[in-house]
Amino acid sequence: MRALLLRDLRLAVRSGGGFGLGLAFFFLLSVLVPLGVGPEGGTLGRIAPGILWVGALLACLLSLDRIFALDFEDGSLDLLATAPIPLEAVVALKALAHWLVTGLPLTLLAPGLGVLLNLPPAGYGWLVLSLLLGTPALSVIGAFGAALVVGLRRGGLLLSLLVLPLYVPTLIFGAEVVRRGAEGTALATPLALLAGISLGATALLPFAAAAALRVNLR
Amino acid sequence: MEIRVDNLAVARGGVTFLQGVSFQVAPGQALILRGPNGAGKTTLLRTLAGLQPPVAGTILLAPEAAAYGAHADGLKSTLTVRENLAFWAAIHGTDTVDSAMMGMDVASLANRRAAALSAGQKRRLGLARLLVTGRPVWLLDEPTVSLDAASVALFAGVVRQHLRGGGVAIVATHVDLGLPEAAVLELAPFRVRAMVRDGFDEAFA
C-alpha cells in the first residue's frame, strides 16, 4: 500500500504531474483579489476568510479529475482493481496522495496569502487549523466525484458540477471558523461541524467511490 | 490451479456477446481463444479476471489467482522501467523485478523512462509485469501486438516456462504464438446470433 502512495507522490512531482497547478492558482487568486477589491475601508480583511477558503476549494477542484482519469487511460486502474489491495484502500490512498500534494501545501501557503488579503492577526491560527481540518474532506469528496466520472471523455465539467454542491458545507463551516476566529467570537460549533464533515467523508466515501469505480470498470 | 468455466454468458454495455461458453484448463496448460474482431474475447477475459460479473454461468477461478494482461500495459511514462516494475511487485508483494526484467529482455533499459521506450519495448515491459505478479493464471489479451518475431519467440518461451511451473495461460490472439501444445477454443459458435438487448432497458428500469 505504501508503494501506491509513493508512486502517486512521485508521479505528482515529476514533469507533467500537475503538482504546482493548484498552488499557483491559489497564489494568483490571492494576489489578484486585493488589486481588484482595493485597499480601503477594511473590506479586504472582512472578505479575506471567504476568499481564502474559496481559493483553496477551487485549487483542489483543479486537480481532481487526475485522481483516476490518468490511471484509467493507461490501464493501471484495471490492474489495480485486480491487484491484492482492496479498491477501497486504493481510493483512500489516492485521496491521501491528492491531499498531500494539494490540501497540505495549500494549508501551509495560506498564512502567507492571508497577509496579502489583510486578514486580522487573530485569524491566522484558525485559518491554518480550519484548512487542516477541512481540506481532507475536499480531497475525499473529490475522489468520490472522480470515481463517478472515470471513463467519461472530458469528465471535468461534470465532475465540477457534481462535486461543488458537496463542497458547500465544508466551505461554509471552514470560512465561518476563520471569520469568527478573526473577530474573536466563539467558534466551537463550526469547528466541530467542519471536523465532523472531514471524518464522516473519510470514513464513508472510499466505499462509495470504490463501488462507483467497480461499476465504471465493467 | 485448475480453471473450470461452465455455461458462461458475458455482456458488454448491456449486450450479451457470448453464451454457453464452457471449457476447462488444467495446471500447466494453455488455452488460446480465437475469434474475429468483436467476438467478445476481451469481454470474456475481463469477466474471468473479475472485472465484470458474468450474465449467467459459473467460473471456477479465484480472481486473486489471475493476472490480467490487457491491451493497455498500465505503465507510467514518467517512471523508469525499473520503477514501473517495482511498483507492481510491491503491490503484489513479490521481489522478482530483476528476474522479470531478464525474462522479457528489458534489463538493459532498466533506468530509461517508459516514455522513451518504443511500442514493442513497452509491450515487453507490460508482459514483464505478469512475471512480477507471481500469480498462477495469466489472462492475456493480444499479448504480441507490436512485438517483433524475436520477441514473440521470447514471450512464448516465458509462457512455456510459466506453464512448466504449473501455471495456466488463457490467451486471446490472432497470431501464431508458437505454442503448438496449447488447446484452441474457437469463440464463433458461442456468439449470440441476434444482438438484442437482454431485457434490461435502463430508461425503464
The 10 Å Cβ neighbour count of residue A133 is 22
DSSP annotation of A17: S
State the average pLDDT over residues B73-87: 88
Task: Name, in order, each residue with C-beta under 8 angstroms of B3's C-beta and a sequence gap of 6 or more.
Answer: B24, B25, B48, B59, B60, B61, B137, B168, B170
Q: What is the pLDDT of residue B2?
A: 81
Which of B45, B75, B88, B137 to mutate against chain A (most A CBs within 10 Å)?
B88
| Backbone torsions φ then ψ of B136, nearest 5 degrees | -75, -25
Nearest to A166 by CA among A200, A138, A131: A138
What is the rounded average pLDDT of the residues A193-202?
95
Nearest by CB to residue B78, choosing from A4, A16, A217, is A16
Query: Quick check: pTM over 0.90?
Result: no
The listed range with the strongest mean pLDDT (A90-94, B21-25, B193-197) is A90-94
**Cα dihedral value B81, A15, B143, A4, nearest 10:** 70
pLDDT of residue B199: 52
pLDDT band at B194 (very low <50, low <70, confident <90, very high): low
Q: Given this model, what pLDDT does residue A59 score?
A: 92
First-residue to last-residue Cα distance in chain A? 24
Residue A133 predicted with pLDDT over 90: yes
Residues of B in contact with A217 (CB under 8 A): 51-52
Contact A74 B73 (CB under 8 A): yes
Say whether A217 and B51 touch across the interface (CB within 8 A): yes
Cα(B9)–Cα(A56) distance, integer angstroms: 49
pLDDT at B96 over 90: no
pLDDT given for residue A211 in this prediction: 94
Instruction: Write the class of the CATH domain B25-53+62-186.
Output: alpha beta
Residues of A engaging B, defined by a Cβ cutoff of 8 Å = 2-4, 7, 10-11, 14-17, 73-76, 78-85, 217-218
Query: What ipTM does this complex have?
Result: 0.84
- Residue where the block lists cell 512485438: B147
* A16 three-state secondary structure: coil
Residues B73, B25: Cα–Cα separation, whole Å:
25
Q: Within its chain, how far is the Cα of A134 from the centroid? A: 8
Interface probe, candidates B76, B127, B129, B200, chain A, greatest A C-beta count within 10 A: B76
Mean pLDDT of A190-216: 94
Q: Residue B175: exposed, middle, or buried by beta-carbon count in 10 A (0-12, 13-18, 19+)?
A: exposed
Q: pLDDT grade, residue B200 (50/70/90)?
A: low
Domain ranges of chain B: 25-53+62-186
Provide DSSP, B10-79: EEETTEEEEEEEEEEE-TT-EEEEE--TTSSHHHHHHHHTTSS--SEEEEE--GGGEEEE-SS----TTS
Per-residue pLDDT tens over the stretch A93-127 = 999 999 999 999 999 999 999 999 989 999 999 99
Work out whether the CA dihedral B147, B153, B155, B156 comes out positive or negative: positive
Q: Specify whether the CB–CB gap between B176 and B149 falls below 8 A.
A: no
More confident residue, A15 or A53: A53
pLDDT value, residue B181: 79
Most confident range, picked from A131-140, B145-154, B195-204: A131-140
For A122, the grid coordinates are 487573530
Q: Report whether pLDDT(B107) > 90.
A: no
Q: Where are the alpha helices (DSSP H) in B66-148?
A: 81-92, 97-103, 119-133
Q: Name the pLDDT band for B37 (thresholds 50, 70, 90).
A: confident
* pLDDT above 70 coverage of chain B, percent: 93
> Rounded to 5 degrees, what angle do the CA atoms A168, A38, A135 make?
25
Q: Are A53 and A103 in contact (CB under 8 A)?
A: no
Where b means 16+ CB within 10 Å and e means fewer, A56-93 reads bbbbbbbbbbbbbbbbbebbbbbbbbbbebebbebbbb
Q: Do A218 and B51 touch (CB under 8 A)?
A: yes
Using a CB-CB distance cutoff of 8 angstroms, which residues of chain A are in contact with residue B50? 82
The closest of A182, A25, A5 to A99, measured between CA atoms, is: A5
CB B18 within 8 A of CB B191: yes
Closest-CA distance of chain B to residue A179, Å: 43
